[in-house]
Structure 1
């Protein structure tokens, strides 16, 4: 980390690399709206008899017509949209199916993106995911099995879009700006969650739940065109980059140059405890985050007893805090590094600790404050916000320990996270299907335990130095 950024007065926020972060922010925003759209739409999609509701049905007027109008296995909504009889266990399988798809493509797409370039894979993944989002309402009418297939395929497309980002940052991001750039780009996921949850319920009430998929699927198609138009894999190839910015990026990355073709040291990676510390961090982080992203509207509706519009708006509030903490955390991390206030590994472990410990405390407290409307909302806001501090911790730690294989390792890391997401989504559906009150309590206690395990493992074995097997050699094979 002894590069010479002092030749510049500071980060140029009008530079192309920050423009790239903004475009990637929009792409992540779009991907997340498509992923979370089902979480808010499913409140209107499922039969009202499957959800415990208060006696005053006036707050649930969109669902009041669910029992009117015959259909073979579904009933008609007052907007003309279908309502399906999906149990909590079935919903858990549907929610987890997108994670299955992402796992199938995370590792191969990350490896191929490092060889062939991330631009095409990212753009294609975003476009395919958008088209499948448009097709989701029709798939729901055809049956739950097709919905699972569509969501799995959508996960494969999103896996292509997620992992290639770190291949791009390995060539575009100066080491002392990585936290800022990746946090700007990554915060798009939190903003996307906020947008879809905030307006999704209102769209469902006004137009019907299928329009949630139609609107955000169409926006994704537009965003993919923007991606193909303005993004380049390497700053050396960009036709509009200034000589000053190009020289700054090249000089800052001089000690971490990568080769285009080199075998991946799988055995060395498998024996590397710092990598396993990152993997365990991802596993524990994604466990709770997946529950919050997937089940937050359902939890708010079942605990606070509000209609779908209010549930969506309340569910969106935590992701304002998440987006803010992601960006501020990145700024603070780079400030601590640039002023030499803390060592790199200290910064990584500090933000990892905050990002795993604080949301665990909030989650454990949730079942005990369920009777308090304000306290419940405050804790739900704090969980995603504090959890996203991990973005300046182990989330980008692969860029420290093995920048040459960052995309490949990010694929593996997200694979561990998605395995956690699959298990936690399925387990949550099972637990709340048995008993709603004790089920939610068990869900949050289990999540806190998983977070503590991941934090302990990372604090024990996490490192920030480039590993020997990841260093550039003077002798290379062409």
Structure 2
């Protein structure tokens, strides 16, 4: 397959016809996207599977709320907003075909859901450093294989004892923690500056992984039983691992099938900002950097909202809104589909703004916090007052997560701005802190919904989520930045950079994006 490449010749743009395969960067984007897909597929399946594994019983308090949202005449009277919805897509509770009968208490279920995140922050912390030292290709491959095998073994663990399933999920979280920091280290080595938004948007592959997993899990369970919802994702993950090993390399210089033109373009665009081999990150400078701390706070707010919908969203849709298991999976996936689509749009918008110098990097990061954090938080506040309105509740959750797609221009890119040389490590540290939301959100939800699953019990949960979203954005707007930090470079690199600036660097960095047109 041939493609067109736009280059600069004597400061004039020119388009040349290049004989060869699809650019390796495109293949890399696909593999990063599907890597996030796979890790989320293995992470979120438990949120829906557990509904089929545990008999759904309701307390007296909960029965009132369920009957309110599943009236026999299918008319739902919303006390708060004083309007009616036709709930023809919801049905009275019935036994799910293929369901199991594990007698796990709400606290035990919360432990199973939250165990994934117990050590996830720790491995996120070291994941970036591991990728920077041994290469992201190896780290992602090994941890993905382990994750697939643990998922396939989960049904046997559940039958043995719920603690065995907790251990399996705990080990799965250990392996999963390495993935995202490693992918960010890979992006730092491959993505030219004017293509960062597109590459970071590939990190939303986990969103599609959630959409597909939740959409097919319900029908899969109802037709083949709950265990199939573990076996199928695990088998698919093993197939993906083989493709990853063949198609991905740690750097353009290491890739056996990249063209000389593309390798040179990436090398010139990145310049000397990223070195392949380096020592430990400058932790003292990092943890005392206010811009970095602002990025961590922003990332925490993003993950709080993300993990809230991911871990307890299916329960809210099933228990409060009254959808059956198959429908609950589809409805719960809608917010993630919106997030996926809008993240791609926001990524392109950010790249265009940066390429045309319409806004500085710092202004882009701060301005789009409005969409990635503040607007999603406001939608969660409105959701508190939606009552049993099916359409309104689903629409607000979907709009909240959809607007959060702008995270591709805020917390998901800011660590690349601050220190591309240590992008994996910075993201790992931020993810280590932010991932604690993964086990706090199920605990908080279990605490407030202990006596029932009505809107009255869920309202404090949504208020907490909205507050974290908005406060984290305000903090970043005051203290964040998109400027590269001095500690990105070692002392020797800093001296060399200062000398180049003093004497003039003859090499001109070419940030012209590669335009690819298949023919």
TM above 0.5:
yes
After superposition, the Cα gap between the structure-2 partners of 1:300 and 1:350, relative to the gap in structure 1 and judged at 3 Å, is: same
Q: Aligned residue for 1:73?
A: none
For 2:14 and 2:170, locate their aligned partners in 1 and report how far apart those are by CA, in whole Å.
Answer: 47
Which of 30, 35, 39 is matched with 1:27 structurally?
35
Match of 1:440 in 2: 458
Equivalent residue for 1:106, pick from 98, 104, 124:
124
Question: TM-score, length-normalised on structure 1?
Answer: 0.91
1:70 is matched with none
**Mapped contact 1:5–1:252 kept (Cα < 8 A):** no
Match of 1:333 among 342, 346, 350: 350
Which residue is 1:144 aligned to?
162
Alignment of 1:277-296 (within 5 A): 277-296=294-313
Q: What corresponds to 1:426 in structure 2? A: 443
Q: Is the contact between residue 112 and residue 169 of structure 2 (CA under 8 Å) also seen in structure 1?
A: yes
Confirm or deny: 8 A CA contact 1:18 1:181 kept in the other structure. Answer: no
Residue number in structure 2 paired with 1:238: 255
1:396 and 2:429 are equivalent in the alignment: no
Matches within 5 A, 1:81-92: 81-92=99-110
Give the one of 353, 356, 377 matched to 1:360.
Answer: 377
2:398 to 381, 384, 394: 381
1:182 is matched with 200
CA contact (8 A) 1:278 1:395 kept: no
Aligned to 1:260: 277
Residue 442 of structure 1 deviates from its aligned partner by 0.2
Partner of 2:101, secondary structure, is strand
Describe the shift of the 1:46–1:300 C-alpha distance in structure 2 as closer, same or farther (beyond 3 A): same
What value does the CA root-mean-square deviation take over the aligned residues? 2.3
The aligned counterpart of 2:145 is 127
- Cα displacement string for residues 25-59 of structure 1 (whole angstroms, at most 9, x for unaligned residues): 11111111111101111111112225855587964
Q: Is contact 1:282–1:414 with CA below 8 Å preserved after alignment?
A: yes
Deviation at 1:474, TM superposition (A): 3.3
Query: What number of residue pairs does the alignment pair up?
Result: 458
Alignment gaps of 5+ in structure 1: 64-77
Of 204, 207, 210, the residue aligned with 1:193 is: 210
Residue 209 of structure 1: SS of its match in structure 2?
A: coil
1:94 corresponds in structure 2 to 112
Over 3 Å counting, the alpha-carbon distance change for 1:231 and 1:110 in structure 2 is same
**CA positional deviation for 1:262:** 2.6
Match of 1:311 in 2: 328
Q: Which residue in 2 is equivalent to 1:249? A: 266
Q: What secondary structure, in the 3-state scheme, does the structure 1 residue paired with 2:95 have? A: helix
- 1:378-412 per-position Cα deviation (integer Å, ceiling 9, x unaligned): 11211221112112112211111111111111110
Shift of residue 354 of structure 1?
1.3
Measure how far apart 1:367 and its partner are.
2.3
Cα shift readout 1:169-198 (whole Å, capped 9, x = no counterpart) = 111000110111120x21211100100111
Bigger proportion of residues as helix: 1
Larger deviation: 96-105 or 45-54? 45-54
Structure 2 unmatched runs, 5+: 1-5, 73-89, 496-519
Q: What SS does structure 2 have at the residue aligned with 1:233?
A: coil
Map of 2:44 onto structure 1:
36
Tell me the SS of whatever aligns to 2:369. helix
